Amino acid sequence: MFTNTENARAYANGKNRRVLSGRNLWSGVLFGVGTAAFVDEAVFHQLLHWHHFYDLSTSDVGLVSDGLFHAFSWFATIASLFLFADLRRRNAFWPQRWIGGMLIGAGAFQLYDGTIQHKLLKLHQIRYDVDILPYDLAWNAIAVLLLLLGAVLLWKTRQPAERTGS
């Protein structure tokens, strides 16, 4: 049961969000990266104390990679929210596409963290003094699952094939 203005707003949203489909995607991706990094910091570093601030086996490349990702995710969290506010004020917010982007961002960060940073660069491990294999498998499986879910949503909200003329 829509009133006329609500109808008009919903109709405009359907058009606006296609124009700003990319901004919906990127706002979501940045928010996903930020959320994954925040969970990593809050839960695994601060609450559980599983992760270490610095691990003696950390390489220089690992330090640089960690520094860049930490800084980027900090910026991404805040910037994504301003992009979100921008989409709202333009009546162009597309929840499905935004959440799709978020899952991709979170999954990509998690996978990068779980493979390159933990394993290749040996930044720090998920947990110490335990058999690490199940932790690594669960960590990366979750990452792949997030990526897959995100990909499905992005596929569902993809732009219709380019139309020629109008």
Residues that bind another protein (CB under 8 A): 53-54, 58, 63-64, 66-68, 70-72, 74-75, 78-79, 81-82, 85-86, 89-90
Instruction: Give min distance, CB of 134 to another protein, in A.
Output: 28
Residue number with CB closer to another protein (46 or 159): 46
Cβ closest to another protein, residue 30 vs residue 99: 30
Residue nearer to another protein on the CB measure, 73 or 110: 73
Could you please report the per-residue DSSP string of 15-66? HHHHHTHHHHHHHHHHHHHHHHHHHIIIIIIIIS--S-SS-TT--HHHHHHH
CB 153, CB 103: distance < 8 Å: yes
Give me the least distance between CB of 90 and another protein, in Å please.
Answer: 6
The rounded distance, in Å, linking the Cα atoms of 95 and 119 is: 35
- Nearer to another protein by Cβ, of 27 and 146: the residue is 27
Q: How far is the CB of 129 from another protein (least distance, A)?
A: 20
DSSP three-state, residue 158: coil
* DSSP three-state, residue 150: helix
